[in-house]
């Protein structure tokens, strides 16, 4: 009767490890998506800033 609990805990450990990997993959995907969105926001921000700058120069003429 000593072997079965070890087998059970090994199975549970494997299941937990599997779930952790799934969660890690989800987090990595989310992080990559957030970084893409942040970089898109930075590009839009840079574009708007330069547009505003151009607009001010044109207004001053």
Give the range of the structural domain holding residue 20, as residue numbers without chain letter. Answer: 1-61
pLDDT at 3: 66
pLDDT of residue 55: 86
* Alpha helix positions (H), the chain: 3-60
Total domains in the chain come to: 1
Length of the chain: 61
Q: Using alpha carbons, list the distances in angstroms from residue 54 to 26, 31, 40, 45, 59.
A: 42, 34, 21, 14, 9
Which pLDDT belongs to residue 2? 63
| pLDDT tens track, the chain, 61 positions | 566 778 889 999 999 999 999 999 999 999 999 999 999 999 999 999 999 888 888 888 7
């Amino acid at each position: 009767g000593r072997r079965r609990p070890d087998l059970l805990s090994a199975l549970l450990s494997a299941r937990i490890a599997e779930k952790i990997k799934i969660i890690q993959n989800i987090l990595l995907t989310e992080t990559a998506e957030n970084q893409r969105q942040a970089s898109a926001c930075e590009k839009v921000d840079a574009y708007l800033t330069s547009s505003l700058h151009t607009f001010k120069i044109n207004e001053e003429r």
